[in-house]
Structure 1
Amino acid sequence: MERLTTTERDTLARLDGASMLARTKEWAAINSGTRNLAGNATMAGLLADAAAALPGSVRLVPAAPVDTVAVDGRVEAIGHGDHLHLSVRPGATRRLLFFGHMDTVYGVDHPFQSLTTRDDGALVGPGVTDMKGGLAVMLAALSALEAGGVIDAIGYDVLVNSDEETGSLSSAALIGEVARGKHAAFGYEPALPDGTLAGARGGTGNFSVVVRGRSAHAGRNPEDGRNALVAAADLAVRLAAARAPTLAVNPARIDGGGPNNVVPDHAVLRVNFRPRDAAAIEAAGALLREIADTVARDHDVAVEVHGLFNRPPKPVDAAAERLFALVADAGADLGLVIGRRDTGGVCDGNNVAAAGVPVVDTMGVRGGAIHSSDEYFFTDSLVERAALSALSILRLGTPA
């Protein structure tokens, strides 16, 4: 702490842990599972109110159209909530991006809906870590900086989408648009419990493979049928066998079938790919097409592939290394050891990096057990991580 300037100390003194905790609890009490459009609308309104305390213009951006494949193979539109965008000093020479998401993985019918406090003081609740605590950290850091007038030369955008947990399909174009041209970006996914940040990330692609066969009586004339379920299972086995060191393949689900005495005429295979690099994406696309063609021929069925690689891999290049170093140095001046670890998980940091912007995407609270009914975060990390953000942002505003 001895290395902090007077301006930096004054900025950090404005951080209020109690208000951040109250805001996190208020937001976590609102169910905003991705498909809960009413809950996301409530969250968007509250976030817009909070963001209005910052200078600049706030808008709610309608979600772009997204199609999904139903269990019967039909392609149908699916709705998403509005995304929040705040633009501050867009004419500034040095511009930054801060991003997060308002949606969670917990739907309205999920049993995990309430907040509790553990014996060690950690707060347990849906979305407290991923990422309503992170949103509170982001806004508190920016408010502290704006209150001191110390970042008047910096322009920035805040983007909070409503569909990150399902792949950001309705916000991907918006992310790319807002990210373009930024000097650096911070995302507010949670850090690990010990404060370690995510470094390089792999990519991901989700696909629904529709198989259409021919129904027949299972006892009288099964040879006239074309079993779509068997063909989908063959697809799954072949894809699973094709995994490689740079490509994880997870056949996750097969929808289809019907009565035991009917040869099933339709099935939908859901499969996830995790490529580590761009070459693996190309290989996976070719692999999927080849296996789909082989299964269609061998089983005399029609096979349609729907989906895309929605998040490219996120390497840590030289610009990202410099940004991580800046954050680590800021942490050291706060008495924190900021580690880094590569991960197979993905987030909107992948999309931001693909726009050519160096990014640290785990500037949120310290916590764990995300996407489970034990999700928790350490409440003292609110001030800690807001201080880390504020100090890093302040130093980003000073050209090297």
Structure 2
Amino acid sequence: MRILLSAVFLFWALGLQAGGLSPQEQTLVDAVAEREPAARTLLERIVNINSGTGNHAGVKAVADELAPAFEALGFSVAWVDGKAFQRAGHLLARFGDRGPKLLLIGHLDTVFAPDSQFQRYQVIDERYVKGPGITDMKGGNIVMLMALQGLKDAGLLDQLQIQVVLTGDEEDRGEPLLFAIEPLRKAGRWADIALGFEDGDGDPTTAVVARRSSANWRLEIAGKPAHSSQIFREDIGHGAVYEMARVLEGFRAALKDEQLLTFNPGVVVAGTDVALCDDSRGTAFGKLNVIARKAVVEGDLRALTPEQQARAWGIMEGVAKQSLPHTRTRFTHTDRYPAMAPTDGNHALLAVYSQASQDLGYGPVRAVDPRRAGAADISFVAGSVAQALDGLGLMGTGGHTDEEVADMHTLKSQASRAALLMHRLAQP
């Protein structure tokens, strides 16, 4: 069924001709625009609620503000308590029993803790507004809601089956990971199409058809301690630091030509006695005249496809095994976010979205460079659905900093494009 859907959408997208909006579609666009003033008020309200991932009460408070808006559209709403994965939880909403099955994805949490100095919605001028999480991604949640409200007001919402998942831990994933992501993955197994309302690269002329994976790796290296004057002796060897340098340079040399693959050693500790804690804080003790006994390195890896990631792991394991004399290296890795591969189905969905944008007068939309789109919730479901598209949210700059600014001119345009996309996906 999903292969068929992908082929149908691809055929349709390739055959589209720019023809403007039908009267029904114009009604939809007008309905979205009428919702903008109330949407801005709701956005200000939720931006002013601190919902840093660790502030469980704040995350739940944002959910409590959004839930009634979904219920007013006829959605059934549920809260998944996050105690089992050490987070606040997730907000789920469901609607409809006919038409294409759409999964709409957002998140409730931000990177700003309660003690951050950046806490309030601040109007800069008639176009720009500053605020914690305003683009990443409270604004995206409002874009999603405006699109659904427009569909409802235009009498078009019942052409779709929709599940909404607003996670409470996108910025700092809960543990165990499988518990944290199960509601999202379950919705992905149900859906035909996934739409993500992150802000992508902040450019309204782009959308996301591919996201690289996010995974962690670790090197634990043991050497033979001795007086520094004896290093390189046949019975002493090279020590842990030279072995560490060999492995890291081996990674670089072997993988440097892999397109869109990155692998970064982010934390290094080395010496006679070392420790590296779960929060990436390390300690090391050693002496200048003693060969290092131990080194620990932790880093991340980003790959465009599952196949590329698996190939990289194999190469890195092979490099690590070729230890220098009297050293021993243990290489381990942990997958976190899977890759959202750039499939034909995703590109076909982008073509439909781009045509909708052009018919609305906003111009074409192209695929964003995957280097400019980090890992996100949609990655957990992209492999389960026929089509996936992300970066549909409120645009702006400065995400994850106290200079996070939204371009409010994109609120209506993004919501209109999303609403028209969903409507067109419902057409036979």
Normalised by the length of structure 2, the TM-score is: 0.78
* 1:327 aligns with one of 349, 353, 356: 353
Structure 1 residues 117 and 135, CA gap change in structure 2 (3 angstroms): same
Correspondence 1:13 to 2:7: no
Matched ranges for 1:189-338 at <5 A: 189-209=198-218, 211=220, 213=222, 235-241=247-253, 242-246=255-259, 247-254=261-268, 255=276, 256-261=282-287, 268-295=296-323, 300-301=327-328, 303=330, 305-308=332-335, 310-317=337-344, 319-338=345-364
Helix, strand or coil for the counterpart of 1:271? strand
> Paired residue for 1:34?
53
Matched ranges for 1:1-400 at <5 A: 3-15=20-32, 16-63=35-82, 79-89=86-96, 91-119=97-125, 121-166=127-172, 169=177, 171-209=180-218, 211=220, 213=222, 235-241=247-253, 242-246=255-259, 247-254=261-268, 255=276, 256-261=282-287, 268-295=296-323, 300-301=327-328, 303=330, 305-308=332-335, 310-317=337-344, 319-341=345-367, 342-344=369-371, 345=373, 346-399=375-428
Which residue identity is paired with 2:390? Answer: D
Which residue identity is paired with 1:123? Answer: V
Distance 2:212 2:317 in 1: 19
Helix, strand or coil for the counterpart of 1:52? helix
Which residue identity is paired with 1:303? Answer: R
Structure 1 residues 304 and 279, CA gap change in structure 2 (3 angstroms): closer
Distance 1:235 1:175 in 2: 37
Distance 2:370 2:120 in 1: 29
Distance 1:121 1:320 in 2: 32
Structure 1 residues 218 and 49, CA gap change in structure 2 (3 angstroms): farther
In structure 2, runs of 5+ residues without a counterpart are 1-17, 269-275, 277-281
Which of the two has higher C-alpha Rg?
2
Identity among equivalent positions (%) equals 26
Helix, strand or coil for the counterpart of 1:165? coil
Which has the higher mean CA deviation after the structures are superposed, 349-358 or 300-309?
300-309
CA contact (8 A) 1:367 1:376 kept: yes
Distance 1:234 1:35 in 2: 39
CA contact (8 A) 1:236 1:269 kept: no
> Paired residue for 2:273?
none
CA contact (8 A) 1:151 1:397 kept: no
Distance 1:379 1:148 in 2: 23
CA contact (8 A) 1:181 1:357 kept: no
Distance 2:248 2:55 in 1: 31
Helix, strand or coil for the counterpart of 1:258? strand
Distance 2:189 2:75 in 1: 19
1:249: how far off? Answer: 1.2
1:29: how far off? Answer: 1.8
Which residue identity is paired with 1:47? Answer: L
Distance 2:161 2:113 in 1: 36
CA contact (8 A) 1:292 1:303 kept: yes
In structure 1, runs of 5+ residues without a counterpart are 67-78
> Paired residue for 1:72?
none
Normalised by the length of structure 1, the TM-score is: 0.82
Distance 1:8 1:244 in 2: 47
Distance 2:244 2:110 in 1: 31
Distance 1:127 1:116 in 2: 12
CA contact (8 A) 1:117 1:124 kept: yes
Which has the higher mean CA deviation after the structures are superposed, 328-337 or 51-60?
51-60
CA RMSD of aligned residues (A): 3.4
Helix, strand or coil for the counterpart of 2:92? strand
Helix, strand or coil for the counterpart of 1:363? coil
Q: Which whole-Å deviations, capped at 9, do the CAs of 1:227-258 have from their partners, x for residues lacking one? A: 76776565444434443333211111234333
Which has the higher mean CA deviation after the structures are superposed, 198-207 or 131-140?
198-207
CA contact (8 A) 1:102 1:131 kept: yes
Structure 1 residues 356 and 184, CA gap change in structure 2 (3 angstroms): closer
Which residue identity is paired with 1:251? Answer: P
Distance 1:41 1:263 in 2: 52
Aligned length in residues: 384
CA contact (8 A) 1:212 1:303 kept: yes
Helix, strand or coil for the counterpart of 1:152? helix
Distance 2:355 2:187 in 1: 27
Which has the higher mean CA deviation after the structures are superposed, 44-53 or 383-392?
44-53
CA contact (8 A) 1:257 1:265 kept: no
1:178: how far off? Answer: 0.5
1:172: how far off? Answer: 3.3
Distance 2:362 2:100 in 1: 27
Which residue identity is paired with 2:101? Answer: R
Which residue identity is paired with 2:40? Answer: L
